[in-house]
Amino acid sequence: MFFLRALPDLDMISRYSKRPETARTIRDALVMLRDASVLLRCIDRYFAGHGLSQLQFLILVVIDREPERTSLRQSEIGERLDVSKPVLHRTTKTLIKAGLLRSDPDKEDGRAEQLTLTPQAAHKLQEVIPGYFRLIADFMQSPADTAAGRVVR
Amino acid sequence: MFFLRALPDLDMISRYSKRPETARTIRDALVMLRDASVLLRCIDRYFAGHGLSQLQFLILVVIDREPERTSLRQSEIGERLDVSKPVLHRTTKTLIKAGLLRSDPDKEDGRAEQLTLTPQAAHKLQEVIPGYFRLIADFMQSPADTAAGRVVR
DNA sequence: CTTAATTAGTTATCATGATAACTTAAAAGG
DNA sequence: CCTTTTAAGTTATCATGATAACTAATTAAG
């Protein structure tokens, strides 16, 4: 996360990078980092209000959206989400305990487990996705209001 | 951080948000979240290579760039950086132990402390800022190469 | 002045990210 | 086959974010 509230001005950036064109690019990147950080916090807060972390949500999503499959292994989820193995392990266990995932042994591989969405998980996704997209759309339209938690509508 | 490697396509997004214009906006936001997350990781890795966290760097920066002042209180740093008080507390203590900050009692307020950059900190900033800006510029020009840690030059 | 409210900083505790090192099963090489 | 290497998942440990609740100093109100 990028925490700086007031970004450096172009002059300051230019002091360290010769070409003015580059300074402008860097400025744009910093704006992006700041915007994304604020939005990520809004998203975290939104999911927390539904008893989920962002990663938990994404794990459910990648299983749900898999065509022709109803379950994935931990390792397959890892191919779709850019997180470390131990974090994936811990988070899938949390989801199992919460009743949102079911774990079955993989018949082809004794080391692996197949992770399937429970009906509660499918329901949870239905409950959560519309508001997720609405939050993002609201933020893009009016970042300050959305970040302040005000009703934008 | 936003970990999804392959973003949902417009059709999928449209299933949850009526207007196609909104779907496009959401897609843009997801792209931004993903780009920013990848860049943030590159930045983390860069600072780690110099013995700093991103927050540690930003604390040094906001003190350094303060006009007419050579020191700030914890609370003033908190006004400039969007982090919680305990995190700020812990991180400034770490910087003091590392010899990058000096803490002096505030003469006007018995509760407060004035935090000043040490010469090592000023040197560290000089060492670190050019590469920081270069990393960001490289990333904006060629995200994949920069993220892969390849030399872009 | 004295009391109440606010502010600066601290502490304890938790959540969620990472790496390193491990166990066990599967796959590859000889 | 048997050994070695790779892959799936797990465990231990650490870093860095958050909130809640605290102490002590300052400021505001009466």
Nucleotides of C under 7 A from a protein CB: 7-13, 15-21, 24-27
What pLDDT score does A153 carry? Answer: 33
**Contact at CB, A4 and B129, closer than 8 angstroms:** no
Nearest chain B residue to A25, by CA = B137
What pLDDT score does B148 carry? Answer: 67
Rounded CA separation B26/A7 (Å): 25
- DSSP-derived secondary structure letter, A116: E
**Contact at CB, A25 and B137, closer than 8 angstroms:** yes
Q: Which nucleotide is nearest to B73 (CA to C1')?
A: C8
What pLDDT score does B152 carry? Answer: 35
Rounded CA separation A25/A146 (Å): 26
Predicted confidence (pLDDT) per residue in B44-93, tens digit: 999 999 999 999 999 999 999 999 999 999 999 999 999 999 999 999 99
pTM (predicted TM-score): 0.93
Predicted confidence (pLDDT) per residue in A2-12, tens digit: 999 999 999 99
Q: Does B26 touch chain A (CB under 8 A)?
A: yes
Q: B95 or A16, which is more confident?
A: B95
